[in-house]
Amino acid sequence: MTLGPMRSALLLAAMLAAWQPSKARAGEEDTQFWLNAIATGQIGEGTTLTIDATQRWRGDEEVGNDQQTIRVMVEQQVADNTRLGGGIMLFDTAGLTEIRTHQQATVIVGRIEARTRLEQRFFDGADRMELRLRQRFTYNQPIANNWRASAGVEWLGIMQSRRADEGRSTEQWRFQTNLIHRAAPNLEVGAIYWLVVFPRGPRPDRVSHIPQATLIYRF
């Protein structure tokens, strides 16, 4: 990638981070900013350990307070194009806690990656455990020496709500794009953008714009 396109990409990421959509004032849209830190590496033959943490600045009454997360995940390569794994995640939102466990399968065919994840979510004060199914498809594209990009879509569906009087539903759709640069042999930095749509039945969908910065260390 030449200097000109690289500057354009960085400028676009900065504009996304600073942008506040006009509809946000009407309460149907919001803009957040997330900072992600990830450490990942091999701990055995075909076994990968990943630890990640995020600081999520949300700043919207309907979405909720700022949030901090930490997750530990282990994956095992079971075939040339297939990984199986699982993990546990802790969320803290203004003193309220969610503990989340998950199991997942990832299949890669060429540059397309398909991931299926089942989550068990435990909330303070909830009627019961929430069960959520997630299906994601991502296209990965190398674009220059030490640069890569991807785009994808993910569906998140509630199989069992944390509220006893609610049934199954589509919770959200996520449309994602990112640009990652390998800055050193073990270090990558990136800019990510998510457009998240929350269906709300007869009411207008709620939309979140989430630019993110990420730091990835490979050990």
In the predicted model, residues of the chain with pLDDT beneath 50 are 1, 5, 8, 19-26
Write down all domains in the chain, each with its CATH number in brackets: 3-218 (2.40.160.40)
CB–CB of 94/71 below 8 Å? no
CB 40 within 8 A of CB 219: yes
DSSP code, position 23 = G
pLDDT score recorded for residue 7: 54
**pLDDT for position 197:** 98
Phi first, then psi, for residue 164 (nearest 5°) are -65, -25
Three-state secondary structure call for residue 204: strand
- The whole-number pLDDT of residue 21 equals 44
Cα dihedral value 53, 16, 207, 212, nearest 10: -10
Question: Which of 217, 194, 219 is closest to 32 using CA atoms?
Answer: 194
pLDDT, position 30? 94
Q: Under a CB-based contact definition with an 8 Å cutoff, are residues 172 and 180 in contact?
A: no
Q: Please give the pLDDT value at position 77.
A: 98
CB atoms within 10 A of CB 8: 12
